[in-house]
Amino acid sequence: MAGRKWKSRDHDTIFIMQLMMVALFWVFVAGLTIWLLNLLQLAIELNDVPGFPMAISLVAIPVFWTLASVLTYVFVGLRRNRIPD
């Protein structure tokens, strides 16, 4: 398979799979952010100590947003610098 040429259909399939991966990760990050913010709000409403939810929110939300941004940046960079067929 050393000399196999990639078909346009193969490129389109790979692109769609990569795009779905990026989109699903953003959906995951948005859902995680909403869940953590609701957890924090619930802790405040129940007069609970917001230390644990606050600590998790302050660490997890920026980490996952950064990971999603880096994944999107890499995806866009790879698509921009690809060699045309």
Give the whole-number percent of the chain exceeding pLDDT 90.
34
In a domain, 51, yes or no: yes
pLDDT in tens, 46-60: 888 767 778 888 888
State which residues form the domain around 34: 10-80
In a domain, 1, yes or no: no
In a domain, 2, yes or no: no
If one counts the domains in the chain, the total is 1
**Six token digits for residue 59:** 């660490």
43, 70, 69: which is closest to 56 by C-alpha? 43
pLDDT along the chain (85 residues), means of 10: 62 86 95 90 82 82 94 86 64
